[in-house]
């Protein structure tokens, strides 16, 4: 007999008052399926949307249009698409670009 995973979700007000609690059961759960859509086959988590947006904002601050920024990121990370950039590598580049911006006297954060 297989057990069905159950997830409990509780919604709270800022003061801690419970609004509601829900129990969710997974249908068609495959216990061998561990990857999420944001996890590539190598196990590294992919770039998040906030990271993606921040990278494009930082690159725009350096004078890059969106297409040039996309090309730069794909070449920098050697990926076919920006969405394939590893999350930890995106964080490292963000730190680098923020540091460069601060050194140049900008205030991008």
- Per the domain annotation, does 66 fall within a domain? yes
Q: Does any domain span residue 58? A: yes
Query: Is residue 88 included in any domain, yes or no?
Result: yes
Residue 5 forms part of a structural domain: no
Please answer whether residues 97 and 59 qualify as being in contact, where contact means their C-beta atoms are separated by less than 8 angstroms.
Answer: yes
89: containing domain: 49-103
**Residue bearing the bigger pLDDT, 82 or 25:** 82
Q: Count of domains in the chain?
A: 1
CB 54 within 8 A of CB 94: yes
Q: How far is Cα of residue 37 from the mean position of the Cα atoms in its chain?
A: 11
C-beta separation of 46 from 40 below 8 A: yes
**Can you give the pTM of this predicted structure?**
0.58
Give the pLDDT band (50/70/90) at residue 37. very low
**Residue 6 pLDDT exceeds 80:** no
* Domain-located, residue 26: no
- Three-state SS string over the chain comes to CCCCCEEEEEEECCCCCEEEEEEEECCCCCCCCCCCCCCCCCCCCECCHHHHHHHHHHHHHCCCCHHHHHHHHHHHHCCCCHHHCEHHHHHHHHHHHHHHHHHCCCCCC
Question: Does a structural domain hold residue 18?
Answer: no
| 27-38: average pLDDT | 51
């Amino acid at each position: 007999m297989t057990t069905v995973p159950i997830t409990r979700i509780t919604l709270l007000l800022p003061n801690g008052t419970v609004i509601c609690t829900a129990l969710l059961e997974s249908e068609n759960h495959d216990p061998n399926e561990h990857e999420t859509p944001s996890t590539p086959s190598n196990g590294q988590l992919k770039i998040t949307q906030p990271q993606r947006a921040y990278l494009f904002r930082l690159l725009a601050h350096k004078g890059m249009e969106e297409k040039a920024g996309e090309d730069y990121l794909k070449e920098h990370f050697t990926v076919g698409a920006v969405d394939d950039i590893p999350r930890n590598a995106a964080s490292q580049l963000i730190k680098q670009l923020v540091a460069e911006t601060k050194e140049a006297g900008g205030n991008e954060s």
